[in-house]
Chains A and B, each alone.
Chain A
Amino acid sequence: MAERGIDWSSLWKKEDWWSLWLGMLIFFLCLAAAYGVDLMGWVVSAKVWNATITPIGPASKNYAYLGPIGSLIVTYIVLLILTTIGAAAMGWNVKKFVGGFTFIFFATYLCWVIGHNAWIAATKPEKYGLPWSLHMTGEAGYIVALIVGLLIGNFAKGFAEQLKEAAKPEWFIKTAIVLLGAVVGLKAPSVPPEILANFLFRGLCAIVEAYLLYWALVYWIARRYFGLTREWAAPLASGISICGVSAAIATGGAIRARPIVPVMVASLVIVFAVVELLIIPFLAAAFLWNQPLVAGAWMGLAVKTDGAAAASGEIVDALITGQHPEFAPLKGWIVNAAIITKIFIDIFIGVWAFILAVIWVYYIERKPGERVEKLEIWYRFPKFVIGYFLTFFIILMIASAIVKGVSPEAHKEALAPLALAVKSEMNNFRRIFFALTFFSIGLISDFSTLRREGLGKLALIYFVCLFGFILWIGLAISWIFFADFHKFLLQSATP
């Protein structure tokens, strides 16, 4: 009977850590380009196209010789190798993963390219000889990927089942978020530190408010009006109000619920998250376009699961900056508002679950001899967040050092090698992982779940709470903390 020590195997057996490793590896390999060694410039990049423009090609001119198909194939092979190493380390079925990833990668990239067609994506249709366009920017490819994923997931279920070993939206989005840190870090030197700190503080305040209001309300409604037991009401409250599946699991664990409880809640969360993803970003872009950061933060607070929330933030970012050129300098900041609120939510889940566990074990169930470990907070801590802040600060420090003593007019030129590494290469990998996330979310979202026995009452509570007040409280909180904040960022971006 061995004593229990630190379980180091988590470092290579858990997806959360793998998001960190994969994101950081790509980050450092891309960063070499800033120092004259272009290792990753072959990554495939899509641009808005029409009949006369080739839609894809390598991100860096240094790899122009690969051509469009060459860069696509190299990108596929390298990502396949890297993700398969992760899949093998995590004990997944490697053969199924390779097959699934291959299909998901190429289908996703095809959707991504379709979304870049000028009729859909062009923000200046006249540039492409078109009388009009949908002005959706290339990010329309995400929507195409989501829809195709949903069609396969709901109408070709046998085939979708074969792909599921590689349909890992959480792994993909967390890797993308690690890389997003770098993209935001490159923009940050032009923003005064007090504004950046203010941005983070607002995100933190917003989620604390949300936890205190949302959770208590949903729990009370589920208990008072729907007669749920504590075992069901607590994970449901967390699932609906905080952060979807991960919160439902964390809360289920905290109150020692039977695993069937978070499983049932999770299957609802996933379906509702897709519904939100298909509606909320478009609502935000239509009605909150003049408050871009409110729109972004709202995605983080209202849309459940990391994947769907980040995806919603990305769509809002693309729609607002694409349709309103005056907000173009905010590109990246809007999705970052969504990510920051979501990241704080993820971090806070561990603390919240610990508080619940203490209340449950010591005050509600009072099991003799049982105690709660503080280490639970670390077990639940989202490790990819470390990567997000690392890449952010590394790029911020490098960029700040480069522009130190350089006149503002010469910043662009001085930062060009770093921009190649971050904007062209890391950002392209980030977009690929985002697109894979959209496709995978579609693939694993099975709407027939709603017909499953026993889910009716839970679905009704979910619907009533989500559309009755969670969305609107989330909007109000986003407004309180982020209204007009874009003006500071716009001022900073203007030389």
Chain B
Amino acid sequence: MRLNVSLAYENRWIARCNDFTVEAEDLEDIDEKIRDTLKEKGYRGEIEIHMRFDMESIPSWMRQFHQHYFCRIVKFHLD
């Protein structure tokens, strides 16, 4: 299963999708929190999380220079 998540940074990383919002100091913790949240919500099996950085977190004057920050793909196996 594939899940799309938007990733932002407002003094800490914030991952959002229709089902949840989680926040953490670093990306490793974000991954952990997403995994725990999905488990709580009853997701099971292979889950591929597609995180796309929300460019709104970059100041508008800077976006004209480069309009993509990063995408991450993280795979979980939830039993």
Contacts and interface: CB of A to CB of B under 8 A. Distances in A.
A binds B: yes
Interface in B1-19: 2-4, 9, 17-19
A16 B74 contact: no
Nearest to B12: A258
A287 interface: no
B62 A263 contact: yes
A89 B52 CA distance: 21
- List the 6 closest pairs (A to B, CB-CB), nearest first: A253-B70, A246-B66, A245-B65, A249-B66, A253-B69, A170-B64
Given A258-B9, A370-B72, A376-B70, A249 B65 contact: yes
Interface string B54-65: 000111011111
Interface of A: 1-4, 10, 14-16, 164, 168-171, 244-247, 249-250, 252-254, 256, 258-260, 262-263, 266, 305-306, 349, 357, 367, 369-373, 375-376, 379-380, 444
Contact of B27 (A256, A376, A379): A256
B4 A4 contact: yes
Given A3-B4, A4-B2, A266 B75 contact: no
Given A1-B17, A259-B9, A372-B73, 5 more contacts: A1-B3, A4-B2, A253-B68, A259-B57, A376-B68
Contact of B62 (A2, A245, A247, A256): A245
B10 to A, nearest CB: 10
6 contacts: A169-B64, A249-B65, A259-B57, A369-B75, A369-B76, A376-B70
Contacts of B74: 367, 369-371
Interface in B32-79: 50, 52-53, 57-59, 61-76
Among B3, B58, B59, B64, the one with the most A-chain Cβ atoms within 10 Å of its Cβ is B64
Interface residues of B, number: 32
Given A3-B2, A369-B75, A370-B74, A245 B66 contact: yes
Given A254-B70, A259-B69, A1 B18 contact: yes
A245 to B, nearest CB: 4
Given A168-B64, A245-B65, A249-B65, A357 B70 contact: yes
A370 B73 contact: yes
Contacts of A254: 70
A371 B4 CA distance: 15
Given A370-B72, A371-B73, A253 B64 contact: no
A444 B52 CA distance: 28
Nearest to B75: A369
A258 B8 CA distance: 10
B68 A266 contact: no
A170 B59 contact: no
Contact of A371 (B19, B58, B62, B75): B75
A380 B2 CA distance: 23
B7 to A, nearest CB: 10
Contacts of A4: 2, 4, 50, 52
- Kindly name the residue among A170, A171, A305, A375 whose own CB sees the greatest number of chain B CB atoms within 10 A: A170
Contacts of B59: 263
Contacts of A372: 73
A367 B73 CA distance: 11
B39 to A, nearest CB: 14
Contact of B58 (A263, A367, A373): A263
A168 B75 CA distance: 39
